[in-house]
Amino acid sequence: MNYQSLYTYMGAALIPLLACGSAQANDDFFEISLFELQDIPVEVASLFEDSTLDVASSTASISRSEWQNRGAVSLGQALEGVPSVFTNTVWGGSEAIAIRGFATELSVRGVAHSLDGIPLGSYTYASPSYLLPRAPLNLLNQVEMIRGPGSTLYGNDAFHGVISMELFNRAHNTGEVIVQAGDPGSYEVTAVNSYNNNKWHVHTGGSLQSEGGHDLAFTYTDPYTPNTIGTSSREQGFENASAFLKATYGKVSGKRGKFAFTAFHNDFSANEFQGVGTQFFSRIPLSFDVESTSIAGGQDVSDSENSLSLLGFSHEILLKNDLQLKNHAYHWQSQQEWAFDNSNYPDTITTLSNITIPCKADQNDGNSNPLYCSHTLYQGTEETRKGFKTQLKQAENRFNTQWVIGAGYDEIEITEGRFERINEQGITSQLATSPYIGSKRELGHILLQARTGISNDQLLVTYGARWDYYSDVKNHISPRLGLVYKTNHALTQKLLFGHAYRAPTALEKFGSGSVLGDENLKPETIETYEFINIYRQPNYEIEAVIFYSEWDNAISLVEVSTVQNQYKNNNYNESKGLELSLRSQLNHTTINSQLSYTESENKTDGIDYVAFPEWTGSVNIEHPITQETLKVGMWQRVMLNYHLNDTNTDNDEKSYHRTDLYLNWRMNARFSLTANIQNVFDKENTLPSYYGSEGGLLDYGRIIKASIHYKL
Per-residue HEC secondary structure of 93-140 comes to HCEEEEECCCCCHHHHCCEEEEECCEECCCCCCCCHHHHCCCCCHHHE
What is the number of alpha carbons within 13 Å of residue 286 lying toward its C-beta?
A: 8
Q: What amino acid occupies position 285? A: P
Give residue-wise pLDDT tens across range 557-597.
887 776 678 888 888 999 999 999 999 988 889 999 999 99
pLDDT score at 17: 37
From 712, 711, 705, 710, select the one nearest 180 (Cα to Cα). Answer: 705
Confidence of residue 446 (pLDDT cuts 50, 70, 90): very high
Among candidates 565, 549, 555, which has minimal Cα distance to 523?
A: 555
User: What is the rounded average pLDDT of the residues 322-345?
Assistant: 94
The lowest-confidence range among 98-102, 347-351, 608-612, 646-650 is: 646-650
Q: Which residues does 671 contact at the CB level (< 8 Å), separation at least 6? A: 708, 709, 710, 711
Share of the chain above pLDDT 70, in %: 92
CA distance 109 to 97: 8
> Given a cut of 50, is residue 31 above it in pLDDT?
no
Residue 348 has what pLDDT? 80
Per-residue pLDDT, averaged over 656-664, amounts to: 96
Q: What's the confidence (pLDDT) of residue 166?
A: 96
Amino acid at 360: K
Count of other CB atoms within 10 angstroms of residue 527: 16
Angle 697-699-701 (CA atoms, 0-180°, nearest 5)?
145
Please provide residue 369's backbone torsions phi and psi, each rounded to the nearest 5 degrees.
-65, 125
The predicted structure's pLDDT at residue 33: 54
CA distances 31 to 356, 413, 711, Å, are 72, 47, 15
Residue 40 and residue 62 in contact, taking contact as beta carbons nearer than 8 Å: no
d(CA 294, CA 57): 43
Give the pLDDT score at 423. Answer: 83
Range with lowest mean pLDDT among 45-54, 403-412, 631-640, 687-696: 45-54
- Position 40 scores a pLDDT of 65
Give the distance from CA 53 to its chain's centroid. Answer: 25
Residue 2, pLDDT above cutoff 70: no
CA atoms within 13 A on the CB side of 486: 16
**How much is the average pLDDT of 396-410?**
94
Taking Cα atoms as reference points, which of 80, 95, 69 lies closest to residue 178? 69
In terms of DSSP bridges, do strands 216-221 and 200-211 run parallel, antiparallel, or are they unpaired? unpaired
Please, are residues 558 and 570 in contact by the beta-carbon 8 Å criterion?
yes
Of 136, 79, 143, residue with least CA distance to 116: 143
DSSP 432-477: EE-TTTT-EEEEEEEEEEEEEEETTTTEEEEEEEEEEEESSS--EE
C-beta of residue 143 within 8 angstroms of C-beta of residue 75? yes
Rounded to an integer, what distance in angstroms lies between the CA atom of residue 154 and that of residue 466? 9
Is the CB of residue 205 less than 8 Å from the CB of residue 11? no
Average pLDDT, integer, range 105-120: 90
240, 268 contact by CB (below 8 A): yes
Find the mean pLDDT for residues 455-460: 94
Q: Is 322 exposed, middle or buried (0-12, 13-18, 19+ CB in 10 A)?
A: exposed
Q: Are strands 703-711 and 85-89 parallel, antiparallel or unpaired?
A: unpaired
Measured distance CA(340)–CA(420) in Å, rounded: 11
Q: What is the pLDDT of residue 692?
A: 85
What gap in Å lies between CA 711 and CA 572, rounded to an integer?
A: 53
- Tally DSSP H helices, then E strands, for the chain: 7, 39
Beta carbons of 547 and 528 less than 8 angstroms apart = yes
Check whether 48 has a pLDDT greater than 90: no
CB 369 within 8 A of CB 563: yes
DSSP 467-505: EEEESSS--EEEEEEEEEEE-SSSEEEEEEEEEEEEPPP
pLDDT at position 142: 92
- The number of beta carbons lying within 10 Å of the beta carbon of residue 84 is 26
Query: In whole angstroms, what is the distance from residue 660 CA to residue 619 CA?
Result: 10
CA angle 330, 335, 338 (to 5 degrees): 150
**Does 241 score more than 80 pLDDT?**
yes
Q: How far apart are CA 7 and CA 28, in angstroms?
A: 29
Domains and CATH numbers, the chain: 6-711 (2.40.170.20)
Residue 650: per-residue pLDDT: 57
Exposed (0-12), middle (13-18) or buried (19+): which is 289, by Cβ within 10 Å? middle
pLDDT at 6: 42
Residue 38's pLDDT band, with cuts at 50, 70 and 90, is low
State pLDDT tens for residues 169-227.
Answer: 999 999 999 999 998 889 999 999 999 998 999 999 999 999 988 899 999 999 888 88
Q: Please compute the mean of the pLDDT values over residues 158-176 and round it to a whole number.
A: 94
pLDDT value at 21 more than 70: no
Beta strand extents in 319-374 (DSSP E only):
323-342, 348-350, 356-358
CA distance 449 to 462: 8
CB 114 within 8 A of CB 104: no
Please give the Cα distance from 600 to 550 (Å, whole number). 10
